[in-house]
Amino acid sequence: MAISKIFLLLSFLSFTCKGSNVLVVFPVTSRSHSNLGDSIVNILLDAGHQVNYVTPFPLKTNHTRLICTDISSVLKESPDTARPNLEHLSQPKGSHFVLPMGKLFASQALRHPAVQTLLNDTSKTFDVIIADWLYSGLHAPLAAVYGCPLIWYSSSDINWQSLRMVHEASSPAYSVDAQTRRVPTLPFTIGEKAHQLMLQVYLSAWIYYFTNYVDEPAYREIYAGPLQLRGKTLPEYESLVYNASLLLINSHPPLGQNIPLPRNAKYVGGHHISLTRKPLPKDLKKLLDESKKGVIYFGLGSIIQGKDLPENVKRELIEFFGQLEQTVLWKIEEQLADLPQNVHILDWAPQDSILEHPNTVLFITHGGLLSVTEATHHGVPIIGIPIFGDQFVNVDLATRSGCGIRVDFNNELPSKIRKAVNEILSNQSYSINAKHASSLFRRRPASPQKELLHWIELVADTRGAAFLRSPAVDISTWKKLNLDILLVIVLLVWFLLKVMKVIKAHLGDQNTGENLVKKNE
């Protein structure tokens, strides 16, 4: 009996210690996307898994279970749209501009020599693939090449376009497009619902065009060789794009739109926030500790940088910051002259650690989801200056929950920041709401790191977690809207009307005949 128990224990340990071989593909040439990919890779490595990481920002580590497929040369080919020009923000592009960007990032990575070598190596096998979804399905056929499940990862909050990858588009009655410039207050008016519906229809046409006439030719060119090497034929492209096992979402209530989700779409927002942060540099810690009146942190992310602001805007902001009793930490990539004593320039800032400090009272941000997530996690109110992409939605949702104020980027930026700073510092409700949001954000059955790991391992161990799959993804739009039933009803009504018309005509002829007979008599 004892021997059998030992055998069972050893069998269990050997099973639980067996790591999966995971391919992680994060090709977008943005540091924020890279930070998310790095987090996923480190979580998998810490859990004992093997990882092959396709990235333009290779990790500087010699970890024995990590292979970095370096595609950093694509940084030289990054599209101009990845770095918006502040002078043209008053003329924003339509929502469809992200579709060619997504295809470009994906095809650049897949055509890269390092990835081509990986694809053509028939000895390579993977248990699961995690791909960063950015408005393109070109990474989906990787699952067909390696014969394993696919997990889509959405770096932004859930929206109707990402949700349709594993389910169906969310209703325009309560959800907005990720590129919307202004989020209306719920419930939407008829006009607002009509606008979102027309936007969905318009973008759906664009998606159909890109899928069939842009992505599909690229799919055939990129994947025909690797599939042929493995004795496989090219499957239908769309069947691969919508065959993912899971969608991981870099968000969590109360951050996002709180759209109803199927069982195979999971919130994991906050997984990039380290549970064991490195201590602050001594001089920065001393500055924060001694700022008893509070600290205001100002950082615009990595794409739009502080140095990109117009000179007059920078000078006006410095003048205003100098009038405050709080310490101001400004992450900006240049040295500024004649700074007030309370204003400190940082060319690099440990943002998460600064926001964690109890003396930090306000965060002035561009509204990127990672920044809003960190502010929510630490309970710090924000002033959001959205620049492009989903930043408008992120800031509007934070404003809706009373955790911040939105300031639009225009010629009146300094005066609007002045007004917003004074409002938040003088009104405690923003701080109270931010701390309440932090409490809700942290209140989970498990940490986001454990949640993320759980779902990845489940998909790998069950070869796709088919029991979580939404039936909606296999049903055409025609049937989802019950148009087939409507057509049957219309045909039935048409048939009954025809029958009634014939009967009426027959009865009419019969009555006419009877009248003639009576007249002749």
Specify whether the backbone of 286 is left (phi greater than 0), alpha (psi in -120 to 50) or beta: alpha
Averages of pLDDT over runs of 10 residues in the chain (521 residues) are 46 55 95 95 97 96 94 78 52 71 93 97 97 96 97 96 94 92 92 94 92 95 97 95 97 91 96 88 96 96 76 92 96 87 93 96 96 97 93 95 94 94 97 97 96 98 96 80 83 90 78 60 60
Give the pLDDT of residue 282: 94
Cα angle, residue 496 at apex, residues 493 and 498 outer, rounded to 5°? 110
Give the pLDDT of residue 476: 76
Query: Using CA atoms, how far apart are residues 30 and 83, in angstroms rounded to an integer?
Result: 10
**Which residue, 215, 33, 243, 231, is CA-closest to 129?**
243
**What's the longest Cα–Cα distance across the chain?**
121
The pTM for the full model equals 0.89
Strands 360-365 and 295-299: parallel
Give the pLDDT of residue 12: 43
Fold match, 19-84+91-273+447-474 / 282-442? yes
Q: Is the backbone peptide bond immediately before 187 cis, with ω within 30 degrees of 0?
A: yes
CB 190 within 8 A of CB 184: no
Query: Using CA atoms, how far apart are residues 197 and 409, in angstroms rounded to an integer?
Result: 28
Give the pLDDT of residue 276: 82
Query: Using CA atoms, how far apart are residues 91 and 87, in angstroms rounded to an integer?
Result: 9
19-84+91-273+447-474: CATH superfamily: Glycogen Phosphorylase B; (3.40.50.2000)
Give the pLDDT of residue 506: 76
Give the pLDDT of residue 517: 55
Give the pLDDT of residue 247: 98
Reported as a single tens digit per residue, the pLDDT across 318-362 is: 999 999 999 999 999 888 888 999 999 998 899 999 999 999 999
Compute the chain's Rg from CA coordinates. 29
Burial of 28 (0-12, 13-18, 19+ CB in 10 A): buried
282-442 topology per CATH: Rossmann fold (3.40.50)
Q: How far is CA 65 from CA 20, 39, 400, in A?
A: 11, 15, 44
The total of other beta-carbon atoms located within 10 Å of residue 419's CB is: 14
Q: Is the backbone peptide bond immediately before 260 cis, with ω within 30 degrees of 0?
A: no
The one-letter amino acid code at 275 reads: L
Reported as a single tens digit per residue, the pLDDT across 456-514 is: 999 999 999 999 999 998 887 777 777 778 888 999 999 998 898 888 887 766 666 56
| Domain ranges within the chain, ordered by starting residue | 19-84+91-273+447-474, 282-442, 482-520
The one-letter amino acid code at 56 reads: P
Phi, psi dihedrals of residue 248, rounded to the nearest 5°: -95, 135
